[in-house]
Amino acid sequence: MRALKEKGFSADKIVENGNKFLIGNGYLGYRGTLDEFTAKECVGLNIAGLYDGVKGKWRETVNAFNPFFCVISLCGVPLDVRRKETFSHEAELDLERGVFRRETKFLVGKAHITLFSERFVSAAEPDLLCSRIRLTSDMDATFSVKAGIDPEIWDLNGPHFSHVESACHGGRAEVKGETQELHIPVRVVCDFSEPLQNFQGGLGEFSVRLKAGETFTLDRVARVLVGKKHFSGRDYEGAYEAHVREWERLFLLARLDAKGDDRAQFALDYSIYHLLILAPKGRYSIAARGLSGQTYKGAVFWDTEIFLLPFYMEVLPACAKRLIEYRIDTLPAAREKAKSYGYGGAFYAWESQNGFDACSDFNVTDVFTHRPVRTYFKDKQIHISADVAYAILRYFERTKDDDLMLEGGLETILSCAEFARTYSYYNHIKGRYELLDVIGPDEYHERVNNNAYTNYMFYFTAKEGLALAEEFAKKYPARFKEVLCHLPEGILQNLKEWTEKLYLLKPNAEGVIEQFDGYFRLEDVRVEEVRSRLRHPNEYWGGSGGVATATRVIKQADLITLFNLYPDRFSEEVRRANYDFYLPYTEHGSSLSRCSYAIAACGIGRREEAYTALLESAEIDLRGGGKQWAGEIYIGGTHPAASGGAWIAATRGLGFERKGDLK
């Protein structure tokens, strides 16, 4: 059995383990917390694609009521892992079955008590999650059990429910409410294998008499029902078998063979586990922190298109199509955003909540003044539209899905290019178009001119889009005319002329491309020097006054990511020169960075460096890595893009092959 195990308990690791032992099914994510924990311990049951905004606070995904709360007591002493009566504890995440388990042994008086529980979020039924508790004592004892659906929710920017009500009929409990913003009803209904008594506020109780050596079992089968969906009962055993059967199929399908390397094998198994629990079940996408909570507002970033899509295209093509359809569906919102800034085409949301840009003007709080810091991610990270176009192009390259292209895909690609054209400035002196006042993937340097990644990405995607337009005009003339009806008149000719004059930064004598205009003139110091200038460990490095702003130190792979996406457009000598130049300046302040360098190292024959960087990415959530704070803003959670990037490096550069075959 491939399983993540951890012995012992540390209160300092509650939040970290909530991420590390996360379970999910692409629609629901349940944090790796324990039965006796509450909102104070960051218990979270996250729902994909459901957002709510409370006045004056950030809009974010919704966490549902917790159906698995349970505290068992003996003689008034709760069986709680945080109490001194705990003498052993082990948590386990079964990667091959998608099941979380815990076993804790307590000493209460002279009684040795074992509490075991397991739970899973069903891979077979999107709204279903189940838990089983087993209780054993070596002495006769009567236990008090308090269980039910905890209505207290861990929110970063809540509360998100109004009109919360609870009810219980025997062994079936229900807590319901409606979201504050759109008044969407959400019900959590749970069947308990024992009737609950004295039910109030979502919780009830009952007593259990055990003789020495006997085992008591409590099953909980719950559904999270959004909208007008109805509850349908399920027995635990049947639900478990259906879940395990489907999960084992998926895990076998996705696994890679690390060729006898146990460390790499486990790291990749764990990464694949996280990619599988995020596979979308509907036409929604994957948030930057997956289903581990409300960090980054549960929004979808460029991570999905650049770092996650390749896995799903290879392993779960139907999920890949959903990710592409999400961007096509949100094209109207992207057009509206472009229009609001005075541009044409499609300017995609930097932090997308079903197309709405949730990105704030103030994304960081200064740790010294405690004042919000103005950031320009929403306004200036225009490369998001090129990233969306790139993803659609790569999806079509693999699938040859003409219908998807004619039913929104090609229109989206050309609209993204049209946005960049209207955003650009024509420099009459130099006779070229430039993309001024932007932010590249390196977010420490804001509002720069001609970021190389941004310019090249729009150039390549526009050229590919125009070539496809020409192909479809010949292949499907009538349907192609319908596509053009949704685009500005003359768009094809305008884009053709624009690409011919778009400024592309070229390699210097050493083969290095300047990351943006003026980058080479910045202070030439390395990462450790800049780190030594910090006066607070959570200080933000970028923005207008960050310690890295006036230096060459960058947050994450920038140009290197471009080379990974278009390796054939740049010689190996140029890719090697830029890898060697930018790596010492890269702080890796994003989980996207190490895997980008791993992929790049593969492309220039640096296998040992690629292997090391791959492990750093694949193990980021195993070791509790990644930044937890940006200023005073919590940014913790799982790191799906690091998992996806590790998979790309493993399969495209290090030669790890799939164990399963596509069904």
Active-site positions read 443
Which residues on adjacent β-strands are paired with residue 177? 186
DSSP 310-364: HHHHHH-HHHHHHHHHHHHHTHHHHHHHHHHTT--S----SSEETTEE---S--E
Which residues on adjacent β-strands are paired with residue 218? 133
The rounded distance, in Å, linking the Cα atoms of 373 and 631 is: 9
The two beta strands, 215-226 and 128-137, are: antiparallel
Which residues on adjacent β-strands are paired with residue 146? 71, 205
Q: What is the DSSP letter of 305?
A: I
Q: How far is CA 92 from CA 12, 101, 263, 649, in A?
A: 18, 5, 18, 28
Please say whether the beta carbons of 41 and 31 come within 8 A: no
Q: What is the dihedral of CA 499, 501, 504, 507, to 10 degrees?
A: 130
Residue 126: cis peptide before it, omega within 30 degrees of 0? no
Q: Which two tokens stand for residue 87?
A: 């003498």
Instruction: Name the residue with tokens 């884009």.
Output: 495
Residue type, 103: E
Q: How far is CA 587 from CA 247, 298, 530, 548, in A?
A: 37, 25, 9, 10
Q: How far is CA 452 from CA 18, 512, 573, in A?
A: 39, 11, 18
Q: Which of 328, 306, 314, 329 is nearest to 276 (CA)?
A: 314
Integer Rg of the chain from CA:
26
Instruction: Name the residue with tokens 């890719």.
Output: 575
Helix locations, 486-620, DSSP H: 491-501, 527-532, 559-565, 572-582, 593-603, 607-618
